[in-house]
Chain A
Amino acid sequence: MSPRSVVVAGYGMAGARFAEEILRRDPDGEHVALTILGEEKHLAYNRVLLSGVVGGSMKAEHVTLHGGEWRSRVRLGVSVASIDRATRKVVLSDGEAISYDALVLATGSRAWLPPVEGLTPDAPGVYTFRTLDDCEQILAAARPGAPVAVLGGGLLGIEAARGLVGRGCQVTVVHPVGHLMERQLDAGAGAVLARRLSALGVEFRLDARVNGYVPGDGLKLDDGLVPADIVVVTAGVKPETSVASAAGIEVDRGIVIDDCLRTNDPRVYAIGDCAQHSGAAAGLVQSAWEQAEVLADLLTGTNVAARYRGTPVVTRLKARDVDLAALGDVHVDVGTDEAEVLCLNDPSRGRYAKLVIRQDRVAGAILIGAPDAAATITQLYDGRMPVPSDRLAVLLGRALPSEATVASSPAELPGAAMVCRCNSVTKSQLVTAWRSGATGVTELASATRATTGCGSCREVVCGIAEWLSTTT
């Protein structure tokens, strides 16, 4: 039996992971003969870490996903130009045609440039923030001390702004909406985030209408100019669907897929940013990776019952000194009847915690400056676990001390309190031993063995001895 030919169009986060998952299940290529096509010249890299590259904590080589052995597995610098579904062939950008038994579209998405006069991809000083090449160009252009405008105050814009401020640029975030990250945050949280970033040196122009870009000057707003040597555009992305739609494959926002990751042509699949599944938000690596696993199960025959049912969305900002998590439905106000909503707003300390609960489960949350709560609540959300009844503890991110409260004096310590855990000695046993004549720490130790294990209770035993010597 010859292996089936599987062509993967795209070698980004989704395509690379899919290829790995295939290799893991079918290391000798018995079932699947893979052709992987990568448009960029680089081996696959981890796009999630690019903000770290801009911020300077990592170099480009540290975000590479694959070692040199992949050079022989992937065709770099080539993309799919067209699909002939009738003959099951793809024609590549270099003119070659390849037959497929299954075609996997992992073409990702492209940065979107808002329609602003003068703001074109080839205008001097304009950079998108999507690829490793983008990163390297930004790094080459972003000189310390220079003014930089970041156009778009979503997740990516804020990560870019944080990184560039860390490199010593004077950064202004220009955002068309009244608060930052409006998809994930409510207005209160947006304000806390802006305040936190302001303290780190980022400036903001919110509710801003951009009328034009003048190279060398900056962005023209309704109410004046935002000076900028360079503009980093983070205004959103658009799924790359052109080849699919040209071939008559159903495309809405992205390429429409079912739970088997299939398009309306059962020989053609799509995963990652280019795909649109009812249960997945666009642009998240977690969805892409889970889709890659399911599709590898299906195409290698490892588990033909595998299905992709969606991924709960958790947004986590990766910006040094700013801890932010947002998940689920957060656009619900405190005081509503249809959900239990808790909110703690502490802008002067950069903290905001909002928790939306329905049917005793986490429906949504925003957590800024509350890392422990973020960790716990994310797990409750992902696992659909009931929210612990001590809601305040959940919001604070720690269980309140409800047991073993330290007594302030030996007299107040309850008799049953374990003083020496190593030898199971309670306070009452020490008192009894004392009354039987063991009237000193050494004597108590030999009578009860307290302090003779790890020795950490010595201070408490000394305290009890002192108390006993004054009371008897």
Chain B
Amino acid sequence: MTVETHCPYCALQCGMTLAGAEVKPREFPTNRGGLCQKGWTSGALLSSPARLTTPLLHGKPVTWDTALDFVAERIERIQRQHGRDGMAILGGGGLTNEKSYALGKFARVALRTSQIDYNGRFCMSSAAAAGNRAFGVDRGMPFPVTDLDDADVVLLIGANPAETMPPFMQHLKAGLIVVDPRRTATAERAMLHLKPSPGTDLALALGILHSVFVDGHADKQYMNDRTTGFDEAWRIAAAWWPERVERVTGVSATDQRTVARLLANARNAYILTARGTEQHATGTDTVNAWINLALSLGLPGKRGSGYGCLTGQGNGQGGREHGQKTDQLPGYRKIDDPAAREYVAGVWGVSPDSLPGPGRSAYELLDALGRPHGPQGLLVFGSNPVVSAPRSAHVAERLADLDLLVVADFVPNETTALADVVLPVTQWAEEEGTLTNLEGRILHRRPALRPPDGVRTDLEVLQELAIRLGQPAERFPTDAETVFAELGRASKGGVADYSGITYDRLRAGEALHWPVPSADHAGTPRLFLDSFGHPDGKARFIPVDHKGPAEDVDADFPLRATTGRVLAHYQSGAQTRLIKELTDAVPESYVEVHPDTAARSGLEHGDLAKVTSRRGEVQARVRIVASMRPDVVFLPFHFPGDNNANRLTNPALDPSSRMPEFKVCAVRLEGTT
């Protein structure tokens, strides 16, 4: 039997077919028949001998009943002693919409805890916060990916799709401008590559905005008709003339003016951001600076141009809409909005007053675990924070201090290794569900094969736990289609309105981009064509200023480290490190270094280096890369233990999005002897 499905990894959600565990690419608008090495080899995990197939209690196989009884009993004890917020949940951006929704509901209704957040906080949150501020709506790409095909100029900031979502490169046909401190595989294809010092993107955006305005490229008609707030934003940008920006960023004033001119003269131009510019303690302001630039050129809300953010995780978009985010209820509603609480409580059949308010964001949650006023128990679904959280050695210590750590996953990882209870669950091809890809399109994943004996779905796990916590079984259905229908009702009238979507419409192949407010609505592939999401219908310039990295370099830590991805691995690497073809391609961590910088540390290509920050140290194999800035080193973050780049990263948080500063920290580089 051949089943049409989508790749389990990134937000491009490439179309593929599965015959048993054998993968073949198929035509789909996002990937056009292409697949990268991760996609091609994704079937290997379905039959991996590493697969978890039995619940583990303190490392020993037990029956499901034993495991679940233990968990429920421990939850009740913790909540009796420490209150409802004694229990916490950490979700993931790879979970289906149904699971994200059920997890949020489970937290608010069964545990009645405010302490739920998810790893998308480490991924999309700055772009989401900035999009909400500027447009009143956060949908990563408010237009279909295929619109990019007709662009003359695309400005990509902190994005490396040639490694992270290779088939996407088919949509970037001409006029690529790349902003990245490194000469990445994507930058190699650019007509212009700007290499700012890490943590200075905001200044760069201000310099280009300054050039747009001063060189007469601003679309004043558009700014007047469709935006507010330019004057205040300009007063800050006015102080960032390109020569001043050059001194801060290292990007020449000429290049800043060139970018302004290229964007302005293009017939169709797009500005796209990704993690490189977003994962900073000033990430939200930085994205708003890029959106300000897009607004000054009149790009958003017009067919053939726009601003978008390249979502990372498979369901990075849908995962942030349905309530696993601590400040949110389904349909992208705010949990502190009384009307939203009343409506959602009605759908759930509970009293609005029983719903908790907002709790801690992901890093703050992890940092509070096991502390006197923090949660004493944590349920983890679809996340591996021991590798993916900033200052990860500290996070591992916090997890170790818990009274109860439960991890539901399908392969063992660095977090299951610390868990009291491990619950083996189904993976993508073994279950049904929907995901929302990077362009806001809802995709249906069909089950392609039978799960191995002994595993259950996440929805089944939540129901079993809910029953044990005194909830009626029917409040936590296990059938994905039933959950999706309820999610539709709960999202009705919200920003991300799914109420008009049914499995039947998805099965019939309809291309549905949210909002889809009724069964006869064709969906919204392009948002903002008539008006933006704010009450006045206008987009907002946000006055933002450059502050620079949270941590400075000094004599002890003279280099800036930045982290990122490689093509062969996905996120914490828990899945891809189990696939031989991928570990053959990139077997271990490495650090990219300029030849002079390596020489000063006495290091040669292939040597093992020690990289140290104020938070920890890692070991990595030296790769001499002549195109690196001499003041910057790069490490991929997919590797555990001594190779875990997140032992170095700085948990300084963005004030709006609570995004940690993954992308820049001060380090030193030494030999290991």
What residues make up the interface of A, taking CB atoms closer than 8 Å to B?
A: 46, 48-49, 52, 57-58, 62-67, 286, 314, 316, 318, 323, 325, 371-372, 374-376, 378-379, 382-383, 385-386, 388-389, 397, 399-400, 402-403, 421-424, 449, 452-456
Nearest A-chain residue to B258, judged by Cβ: A371
- Does B474 make an interface contact (CB < 8 A)? no
- Does B336 make an interface contact (CB < 8 A)? no
Range, interface on chain B: 35 or more
Residue in A314, A323, A388, A453 whose CB lies within 8 Å of B35: A453
4 additional A-B pairs beyond A62-B234, A453-B37, A456-B169, beta carbons within 8 Å, are A316-B244, A386-B600, A422-B37, A422-B567
The residues of A that contact B244 with a CB separation of less than 8 Å are: 286, 316
- Does B481 make an interface contact (CB < 8 A)? no
B28 to A: closest C-beta gap in Å: 14
1/0 per position for B596-608, CB-CB distance to A under 8 A?
1001100000000
Q: When the two chains form their complex, are residues A422 and B250 in contact, meaning their CB atoms are under 8 A apart?
A: no
**Which residues of B209-254 have CB atoms within 8 Å of chain A's CB atoms?**
213-216, 231-232, 234-235, 238-239, 241, 243-244, 246-247, 249-254
Q: When the two chains form their complex, are residues B40 and A421 in contact, meaning their CB atoms are under 8 A apart?
A: no
Nearest 8 pairs of A and B residues by beta carbon: A454-B169, A371-B254, A316-B243, A371-B252, A375-B252, A422-B166, A453-B166, A424-B585
B161 to A: closest C-beta gap in Å: 8
The residues of A that contact B216 with a CB separation of less than 8 Å are: 57
Please indicate which of the listed interface residues A376, A378, A385, A452 has the most CB atoms of chain B within 10 Å of its own CB. A452
Q: When the two chains form their complex, are residues B170 and A455 in contact, meaning their CB atoms are under 8 A apart?
A: yes
- Does B363 make an interface contact (CB < 8 A)? no
**Which residues of B35-67 have CB atoms within 8 Å of chain A's CB atoms?**
35-37, 40
Q: A388-B630, A399-B627 are in contact. Are A421 and B243 (CB under 8 A)?
A: no
Q: When the two chains form their complex, are residues A456 and B567 in contact, meaning their CB atoms are under 8 A apart?
A: no
Q: When the two chains form their complex, are residues B232 and A318 in contact, meaning their CB atoms are under 8 A apart?
A: no
Q: When the two chains form their complex, are residues B34 and A422 in contact, meaning their CB atoms are under 8 A apart?
A: yes
A324 to B: closest C-beta gap in Å: 10
- Does B284 make an interface contact (CB < 8 A)? no
A31 to B537 Cα, complex, angstroms: 41
A397 to B232 Cα, complex, angstroms: 36
A89 to B: closest C-beta gap in Å: 34
A323 to B163 Cα, complex, angstroms: 36
Q: When the two chains form their complex, are residues A371 and B162 in contact, meaning their CB atoms are under 8 A apart?
A: no
How many contacts between A and B, using CB within 8 angstroms? Answer: 130
The residues of A that contact B253 with a CB separation of less than 8 Å are: 316, 323, 371, 375
Q: When the two chains form their complex, are residues A452 and B214 in contact, meaning their CB atoms are under 8 A apart?
A: no
A262 to B132 Cα, complex, angstroms: 46
Q: When the two chains form their complex, are residues A423 and B594 in contact, meaning their CB atoms are under 8 A apart?
A: no
The residues of B that contact A323 with a CB separation of less than 8 Å are: 253-254
B626 to A: closest C-beta gap in Å: 4
Residue in A382, A386, A403 whose CB lies within 8 Å of B630: A386
A376 to B246 Cα, complex, angstroms: 9
The residues of A that contact B630 with a CB separation of less than 8 Å are: 385-386, 388
| 15 chain-A/chain-B pairs, Cβ below 8 angstroms | A314-B247, A316-B246, A316-B247, A371-B253, A375-B249, A375-B251, A375-B252, A383-B553, A403-B626, A423-B36, A452-B25, A452-B34, A454-B168, A454-B169, A454-B170
Q: When the two chains form their complex, are residues B596 and A65 in contact, meaning their CB atoms are under 8 A apart?
A: no
Q: A52-B214, A65-B239, A449-B37 are in contact. Are A424 and B568 (CB under 8 A)?
A: yes
Q: When the two chains form their complex, are residues A57 and B40 in contact, meaning their CB atoms are under 8 A apart?
A: no
Residue in A49, A57, A374, A452 whose CB lies within 8 Å of B246: A374
B221 to A: closest C-beta gap in Å: 17
- Does B352 make an interface contact (CB < 8 A)? no
Q: When the two chains form their complex, are residues B235 and A449 in contact, meaning their CB atoms are under 8 A apart?
A: no
Please indicate which of the listed interface residues A402, A422, A449, A455 has the most CB atoms of chain B within 10 Å of its own CB. A422
Q: When the two chains form their complex, are residues B626 and A422 in contact, meaning their CB atoms are under 8 A apart?
A: no
Q: When the two chains form their complex, are residues A49 and B238 in contact, meaning their CB atoms are under 8 A apart?
A: yes
Residue in B162, B213, B243 whose CB lies within 8 Å of A62: B213
The residues of A that contact B238 with a CB separation of less than 8 Å are: 46, 49, 62-65
- Does B631 make an interface contact (CB < 8 A)? yes
Residue in A49, A66, A316, A454 whose CB lies within 8 Å of B162: A454
Residue in B25, B185, B581, B599 whose CB lies within 8 Å of A421: B185
- Does B261 make an interface contact (CB < 8 A)? no
Q: When the two chains form their complex, are residues B243 and A318 in contact, meaning their CB atoms are under 8 A apart?
A: yes
A170 to B163 Cα, complex, angstroms: 55
- Does B189 make an interface contact (CB < 8 A)? yes
A314 to B243 Cα, complex, angstroms: 10
Q: When the two chains form their complex, are residues A66 and B235 in contact, meaning their CB atoms are under 8 A apart?
A: yes
Q: When the two chains form their complex, are residues A58 and B35 in contact, meaning their CB atoms are under 8 A apart?
A: no
Q: When the two chains form their complex, are residues A388 and B596 in contact, meaning their CB atoms are under 8 A apart?
A: yes
1/0 per position for B622-648, CB-CB distance to A under 8 A?
000111001100000000000000000
Q: A46-B238, A388-B594, A388-B596 are in contact. Are A453 and B251 (CB under 8 A)?
A: no
The residues of B that contact A453 with a CB separation of less than 8 Å are: 34-37, 166-167
Q: When the two chains form their complex, are residues B246 and A424 in contact, meaning their CB atoms are under 8 A apart?
A: no
Q: When the two chains form their complex, are residues B37 and A424 in contact, meaning their CB atoms are under 8 A apart?
A: yes
A318 to B207 Cα, complex, angstroms: 14
A48 to B581 Cα, complex, angstroms: 58
- Does B197 make an interface contact (CB < 8 A)? yes
A256 to B367 Cα, complex, angstroms: 49
Q: When the two chains form their complex, are residues B197 and A455 in contact, meaning their CB atoms are under 8 A apart?
A: no
Q: When the two chains form their complex, are residues B214 and A455 in contact, meaning their CB atoms are under 8 A apart?
A: no
The residues of A that contact B162 with a CB separation of less than 8 Å are: 421, 454
Q: When the two chains form their complex, are residues A65 and B214 in contact, meaning their CB atoms are under 8 A apart?
A: no
1/0 per position for B20-40, CB-CB distance to A under 8 A?
000001000000011111001
A415 to B37 Cα, complex, angstroms: 20
Nearest A-chain residue to B234, judged by Cβ: A62
Residue in B185, B214, B235 whose CB lies within 8 Å of A64: B235
Q: A314-B247, A388-B596, A403-B626 are in contact. Are A423 and B40 (CB under 8 A)?
A: yes
The residues of A that contact B36 with a CB separation of less than 8 Å are: 422-423, 453-454
A455 to B173 Cα, complex, angstroms: 12
B454 to A: closest C-beta gap in Å: 33
- Does B255 make an interface contact (CB < 8 A)? yes
B154 to A: closest C-beta gap in Å: 14
The residues of A that contact B254 with a CB separation of less than 8 Å are: 323, 371-372
Please indicate which of the listed interface residues B33, B215, B596, B625 has the most CB atoms of chain A within 10 Å of its own CB. B596
Residue in B34, B35, B232, B626 whose CB lies within 8 Å of A399: B626
Q: A378-B247, A453-B167 are in contact. Are A423 and B37 (CB under 8 A)?
A: yes
A421 to B: closest C-beta gap in Å: 6
A400 to B627 Cα, complex, angstroms: 9
A106 to B581 Cα, complex, angstroms: 66
1/0 per position for B334-355, CB-CB distance to A under 8 A?
0000000000000000000000
A371 to B253 Cα, complex, angstroms: 7
A57 to B246 Cα, complex, angstroms: 20
A375 to B244 Cα, complex, angstroms: 10
Please indicate which of the listed interface residues B189, B249, B252, B584 has the most CB atoms of chain A within 10 Å of its own CB. B252
Nearest B-chain residue to A318, judged by Cβ: B243
**Which residues of B163-202 have CB atoms within 8 Å of chain A's CB atoms?**
163, 166-170, 185, 189, 197
Residue in A64, A286, A375, A452 whose CB lies within 8 Å of B40: A452
Q: A378-B247, A379-B197 are in contact. Are A372 and B239 (CB under 8 A)?
A: no
Q: When the two chains form their complex, are residues A379 and B250 in contact, meaning their CB atoms are under 8 A apart?
A: yes
The residues of A that contact B553 with a CB separation of less than 8 Å are: 383
A64 to B234 Cα, complex, angstroms: 10
Q: A371-B254, A456-B169, A456-B189 are in contact. Are A46 and B239 (CB under 8 A)?
A: yes
Residue in B166, B235, B252 whose CB lies within 8 Å of A454: B166
A424 to B37 Cα, complex, angstroms: 7
Q: When the two chains form their complex, are residues A454 and B167 in contact, meaning their CB atoms are under 8 A apart?
A: yes
B606 to A: closest C-beta gap in Å: 15
Q: When the two chains form their complex, are residues A454 and B594 in contact, meaning their CB atoms are under 8 A apart?
A: no
The residues of A that contact B581 with a CB separation of less than 8 Å are: 424
Q: When the two chains form their complex, are residues B34 and A318 in contact, meaning their CB atoms are under 8 A apart?
A: no
Nearest B-chain residue to A327, judged by Cβ: B247
A63 to B: closest C-beta gap in Å: 6
Please indicate which of the listed interface residues A314, A323, A423 has the most CB atoms of chain B within 10 Å of its own CB. A423
The residues of B that contact A402 with a CB separation of less than 8 Å are: 626
